[in-house]
A and B are shown apart, each in its own frame.
Chain A
Amino acid sequence: MIDIRALDVVFGHGSKLHHAVCDFSMRIERGQSYGLVGESGSGKTTVLRALAGLLDRIARVSGEMTAARESLSGSRRSREFRRRVQMVFQDPYGSLHPRHTVDTILSEPARVHRLDRIEDRVVQALEEVGLDASFRFRYPHQISGGQRQRISVARALITEPEIVLLDEPTSALDVSVQAEVLNLLMRLKRDHGLTYVLVSHNLAVVAHMCEALSVMQNGSVVETMDVQQLRNHAPSMPYTRQLLTASLGYNRAAIDAFEEFS
């Protein structure tokens, strides 16, 4: 479903040159959930944006990408690709237009892709993410963070996509709301046969959601593994092992053994 080979992303020129992603490859089958894990600056979000064609005018992207049965180059994407591949962003406060009602936000993708029965689709999408029709004409500032993230998910579903790119979808939410959104994403995946690419710094979320994952550091993949390997606490690379130890909580003795990786 998604095949990326030797992806390179470079920001800036001269002394400000920054090689954000370097020789990145990944292969995801239809219906799979794939995790991209890493700390800040590891390039995980950049990979997602390169795939979605969002780096136009900002960065130079090279490498071979195929997704949703289309071969991709640069940052131009066909209308059909835009329909089949959708994205959910990290910040529920920043990813919805502050002056648009929920109805406007949800009907825009339907209008762009010239779909029929827009009104029915909006109501149905709201229902699918567990919100009733009373939310339809509210503004984003009138609803909570968790509800906003549900709206973002509903927006991604309107065009009946095959692939949904999830960029830290729950890291800005409280844990109880995170559980609700994760459950929602799991259910939607089952119901619609979606393929997910989940970017997260939270190993537990990835272990819960995904079947396979790549661990990234400084723009390159450190390790690719099956989720079982993660659940068994048996990653093979020292960097991954350290990440795993760190995500288990505070342990004074273990911290002194931390190494600098670069």
Chain B
Amino acid sequence: MPQAPLLRVEDLQVSYNTPTGLVQAVSGVSFELGREKLGIVGESGSGKSQTGRAILGLTAPGGRVRARRLEFDDVDLLRADARSMRRIRGGCISMIMQDPKYSLNPVMTIGAQIEEAFLVHRKTSTSEARRRTLDMLSAVKIRAPERVYKAYPHEVSGGMGQRVMIAMMMIPEPDIIIADEPTSALDVTVQLQVLAVLDDMLSEHRMGLIFISHDLNLVASFCDRILVMYGGKVVEECAAAELEQARHPYTRGLLNCLPSLDGEQGELPVLRRDPAWLTAAEGAQ
């Protein structure tokens, strides 16, 4: 990477106290993020979402986050007070969630919500905020920004809702976006169109992206670098283009068990989980 990384994560641990005992959701995840697209892939329960949430301090109550290092731009995110954390959330690091239906306030117009996101972090007049909001809506390729500005979340489609989310997260011009399965609820073509919008905005503003997804192919084609997580650990880290040459048996297993479009109708190879993956040291660097 040419410059110093924006985000440093070293030995991140997230654990939950449950009636049946301590559950380790993330154990010892380390990575650095520059102005690049980093994909975190894994199956359900791999700890990929917990990793994203822990960075923003959004771990659910009852969860405990520890790390040797969790720094954004030299600010220690674990020891930051509530005020600086609020400034960082949204202002410096934003998060795009899976379903716009649940992350937008149903009783506020879309325009008002984006404006609010802007005004929290920038002290300007409301007319300026309105102008910026409309600019942002056209930047995410919404054809009739004026109409969408006045609309309520339930009046727009899923793809449109996710564009609105992107606009809302982008407007304070953060340095890092964490996107947790941002397009999993959308149809394939809409999904790609939304990602294209995100991609264009990222390269225009030179932001870093953490893209959390279960879809190996999508991450491989969209991101620059990939972390593969299994059981709360990173088992493999590689450049997206080199995913086909992945070495870890888990990554290989995931790649192989996908049905292929051009394949013959045979048995799909089944992933055989090896308990040693959980105890083994960090995957090949």
A and B found bound together: yes
Asked, given contacts A250-B192, A250-B218, whether A208 binds B263 with beta carbons under 8 Å apart, the answer is: yes
Asked, given contacts A39-B188, A186-B267, A201-B187, whether A175 binds B262 with beta carbons under 8 Å apart, the answer is: no
Asked, given contacts A39-B187, A250-B222, whether A230 binds B261 with beta carbons under 8 Å apart, the answer is: yes
A54 interface residue, CB < 8 Å from B? no
Q: Mark A66-101, 1 if CB is under 8 A from B, else 0.
A: 000000000000000000000000000000000000
B269 interface residue, CB < 8 Å from A? yes
Contacts of B268 in A (CB 8 A): 179, 182-183, 208
Name the segment of A103-111, A148-156, A239-247 touching the other chain: A239-247
A14 interface residue, CB < 8 Å from B? no
Q: Are A176 and B188 in contact (CB under 8 A)?
A: no
B221 interface residue, CB < 8 Å from A? yes
A178 interface residue, CB < 8 Å from B? yes
Q: What residue of chain A has the Cβ atom nearest to residue B260's Cβ?
A: A204
B:216-264 near A, CB below 8 Å? 216-218, 220-222, 253-254, 257-263
Q: What residue of chain A has the Cβ atom nearest to residue B268's Cβ?
A: A179
Number of A-B residue pairs at CB separation under 8 A = 100
**Contact pick for A243, options B188, B195, B267, CB 8 Å:** B188
SS class, residues of chain A in contact with chain B: helix
B279 interface residue, CB < 8 Å from A? no
Q: Least Cβ distance of A39 to chain B in Å?
A: 4
Q: For chain B, which range describes its interface: under 10, 10 to 19, 20 to 34, or 35 or more residues?
A: 20 to 34
Contacts of A226 in B (CB 8 A): none
Q: Are A231 and B257 in contact (CB under 8 A)?
A: no
Q: Are A207 and B263 in contact (CB under 8 A)?
A: yes
A114 interface residue, CB < 8 Å from B? no
Contacts of B269 in A (CB 8 A): 179
Asked, given contacts A40-B187, A186-B267, whether A251 binds B260 with beta carbons under 8 Å apart, the answer is: no
B116 interface residue, CB < 8 Å from A? no
Report Cα–Cα, A244/B44, bound state, in Å. 26
Q: Are A175 and B216 in contact (CB under 8 A)?
A: yes
Q: Are B271 and A208 in contact (CB under 8 A)?
A: no
Q: Are B196 and A204 in contact (CB under 8 A)?
A: no
Report Cα–Cα, A244/B221, bound state, in Å. 15
A22 interface residue, CB < 8 Å from B? no
A5 interface residue, CB < 8 Å from B? no
Report Cα–Cα, A256/B141, bound state, in Å. 12
Report Cα–Cα, A258/B192, bound state, in Å. 10
Asked, given contacts A39-B189, A201-B187, A250-B222, whether A176 binds B257 with beta carbons under 8 Å apart, the answer is: yes
Asked, given contacts A246-B192, A250-B218, whether A175 binds B254 with beta carbons under 8 Å apart, the answer is: yes
B:193-222 near A, CB below 8 Å? 193, 195-196, 199, 214, 216-218, 220-222
**Contact pick for A186, options B220, B263, B265, CB 8 Å:** B265
Q: Least Cβ distance of A188 to chain B in Å?
A: 13
Q: Are B267 and A242 in contact (CB under 8 A)?
A: no
Contacts of B44 in A (CB 8 A): 145, 174
Q: Are B265 and A208 in contact (CB under 8 A)?
A: yes
Q: Least Cβ distance of B172 to chain A in Å?
A: 25
Q: Least Cβ distance of A231 to chain B in Å?
A: 5
B1 interface residue, CB < 8 Å from A? no
Q: Are B261 and A203 in contact (CB under 8 A)?
A: yes
B282 interface residue, CB < 8 Å from A? no
Contacts of B189 in A (CB 8 A): 39, 242-243, 246, 258
Asked, given contacts A180-B270, A201-B188, A243-B189, whether A250 binds B257 with beta carbons under 8 Å apart, the answer is: no
- Residues of chain B whose beta carbon lies under 8 Å from any beta carbon of chain A: 43-44, 187-193, 195-196, 199, 214, 216-218, 220-222, 253-254, 257-263, 265, 267-271
- Residues of chain A whose beta carbon lies under 8 Å from any beta carbon of chain B: 39-40, 145, 174-176, 178-180, 182-183, 186, 201, 203-205, 207-209, 230-233, 242-244, 246-252, 255-256, 258
7 nearest A-B pairs in the assembled complex, by CB-CB distance? A249-B221, A208-B259, A179-B257, A176-B271, A39-B187, A250-B221, A174-B43
- Other than A145-B44, A208-B259, A247-B188, give 6 A-B pairs with Cβ distance below 8 A: A40-B187, A183-B270, A186-B267, A207-B263, A247-B261, A255-B195
